[in-house]
Amino acid sequence: MAIGEKRDYYEVLGVHRNASETEIKKAFRKVAIQFHPDKNPGDKASEESFKEASEAYEILSDPQKRAQYDQFGHAGVSGGGGFSGGGFGGFGAGTPFGDIFGDIFGDIFGGGGGGRGRAQGRRGDDLLYNMEISFEEAAFGVEKKIEVPFARRCATCNGSGSKPGTDPKVCPTCRGAGQVRYQQGFFSVSKTCGQCNGEGKVVEDPCPDCRGKGSTKDTKTLSVKIPGGVETGSRLKVTGEGGLGKGGPNGDLYVAINVKEHAIFQREENNVICEVPISFIQASLGCELEVPTLDGKVAMKIPDGTQSGKIYRLKGKGIPSLQGYGRGDQLVVIRIETPTNLNKKQKELLEEFARISGEDVHPMKKGFLDKVMDFIS
């Protein structure tokens, strides 16, 4: 690896490229505990390893940043790369970036996880929706209506989870703080209260409609705009349309794109590849063809003597850039078809053409028969 070159983020955490969110979180937790500066005071190498692991986790724990990194490497996340602590929240927003460090502190100093308290409220979970679109829709963009699950605030208890006429009680364990605190030497470590799950209150008499959850299940229709230039593996974020937060913001909805294969087009980056069959006569004499493109048919001249596999470029007939400027090209690949089921007259004309051209139609056959005669004589 060249001096100054960043290591692969998956290599830093020691996970494979298809690792799940849970596997990535577990791997980061293990590495961070090993190299945390408070566990290795004065060790510069451990400090750098900790920063490297933190940067890798920031990117790989975020679905959009991970997708950009998988496609473009470090260059794809250079704008938001580095350990800045910002950016979007990853899946399962109930375990935000800061909570990982809370768990690590708990393991280093004893007393189990902790980190930032949840007395301020709990963010809703993120949702993932898999959407299949056509090749043309992926190229030019489309607006789709989708049905997604929706946790509606319970109208009976107004989201409190308690039976009407009653109220949640202050949690006796954390006394409403949502956290319990442990003292370890000079360090004071907080942990989310296990009895109230960080809410600070407990429901003693649950609502009969939501059974103490504070919400009921429903569905809603969303209109999602898919920008032109997306491809399979692209993920779009719809802010606030995920799970219902409890005293905190809602989660986000992530739309994962899968593009259906096209009958005649293939994609290579922002270029479109189209194979066009022609006869050997058209290839020999030249012709004019109507070639299909994403914008409709265009007339294209094929010069005489064109060989099979020859590629012609149609400028600006490819996929629009996802960044919003320019388009790729269409690459027209010529495939010469060999005629089949020739009648007698056609065969005679082709053989005559071969003789005029000085071409032996059956050179291998003649050579084989000569060898047979030599063998039996």
Tokens of 8: 């692969």
Residues 6 or more apart whose CB falls under 8 angstroms from that of 256 comprise: 128, 129, 130, 131, 233, 234, 235
Confidence of residue 118 (pLDDT cuts 50, 70, 90): very low
What is the C-alpha to C-alpha distance for residues 189 and 113, in angstroms, rounded to an integer? 8
- What is the per-residue pLDDT for 330? 93
How much is the pLDDT for 92? 38
Cα four-point dihedral sign 298, 303, 306, 310: negative
Predicted pLDDT of residue 80: 37
Average pLDDT over residues 346-375: 69
3-state secondary structure of 118: coil
Chain CA centroid to CA 39, Å: 36
pLDDT value for 268: 92
Amino acid 370: pLDDT: 64
Buried b / exposed e over 227-247, threshold 16 CB at 10 Å, is ebbbbeebbbbbeebbbbbbb
Cβ neighbour number for residue 51 with a 10 Å cutoff: 14
Report how far apart the first and last C-alpha atoms of the chain are (Å, whole number): 69
List of residues 6+ apart from 162 with CB closer than 8 A = 168, 203, 204, 205, 206, 207, 212
- Stated as kind and residue range, the H or E segment containing 269 is none
CATH of the structural domain 265-337, one choice from 3.40.50.720, 3.40.630.30, 2.60.260.20, 2.60.120.330? 2.60.260.20
Report pLDDT digits (tens) over 156-207. Answer: 887 778 888 788 888 888 877 777 877 655 556 777 787 777 777 888 888 8
pLDDT score of 360? 62
Name residue 65's beta-bridge partners.
Answer: none
Residue 161 CA to residue 140 CA, distance in Å, equals 46
**Phi/psi at 181 (5° precision):** -115, 135
Helices 97-109 and 44-60 meet at what angle, rounded to 10? 140
Domain chopping of the chain, boundaries? 1-88, 124-168+203-261, 265-337, 347-376
Average model confidence (pLDDT) across the chain: 78
Task: Supply 201's token pair.
Answer: 């209150």
pLDDT of 115 higher than 80 = no
179 forms bridges with which residues in the sheet? 192
Q: Which amino acid is at 155?
A: A
Name the band, by pLDDT with cuts 50, 70 and 90, for residue 90. Answer: very low
Measured distance CA(140)–CA(173) in Å, rounded: 56
Q: Is the pLDDT of residue 332 over 90?
A: yes
Confidence of residue 4 (pLDDT cuts 50, 70, 90): low
The pLDDT of residue 298 is: 92
Least confident range of 32-36, 52-56, 308-312:
32-36
What is the spatial distance between Cα 153 and Cα 216, in angstroms, rounded to a whole number?
6
Topology match between the domains 1-88 and 265-337: no
CB-based burial, 327-365: b 16+ in 10 Å, e otherwise: bbbbbbebebeeeeeeeeeeeeeeeeeeeeeeeeeeeee
151: β partners = 217
Highest mean pLDDT among 72-76, 336-340, 361-365: 336-340
Note the pLDDT of residue 121.
59
pLDDT at 300 > cutoff 80: yes
In the chain, the percentage of residues whose pLDDT exceeds 70 is 79
Judge contact between 196 and 143, C-beta under 8 A.
Answer: no
Is 0.75 surpassed by the pTM of this model? no
Q: Domain spanning 124-168+203-261 has what CATH number?
A: 2.60.260.20
Tell me the three-class secondary structure of 157-223, residue by residue: CCCCCECCCCCCEECCCCCCCCEEEEEECCEEEEEECCCCCCCCEECCCECCCCCCCCEEEEEEEEE
How high is the pLDDT of residue 317? 92
1-88, CATH topology level: Helix Hairpins (1.10.287)
CB atoms within 10 A of CB 184: 13
Q: What is the pLDDT of residue 250?
A: 83
* Average pLDDT value for residue range 290-314: 91
Predicted pLDDT at 199: 75
Which of 194, 236, 249, 207 minimizes the C-alpha distance to 322? 236
- pLDDT in the model for residue 135: 93
- Report the candidate in 150, 156, 151, 159 with the shortest Cα–Cα distance to residue 209: 156
Q: Output the pLDDT for position 137.
A: 93
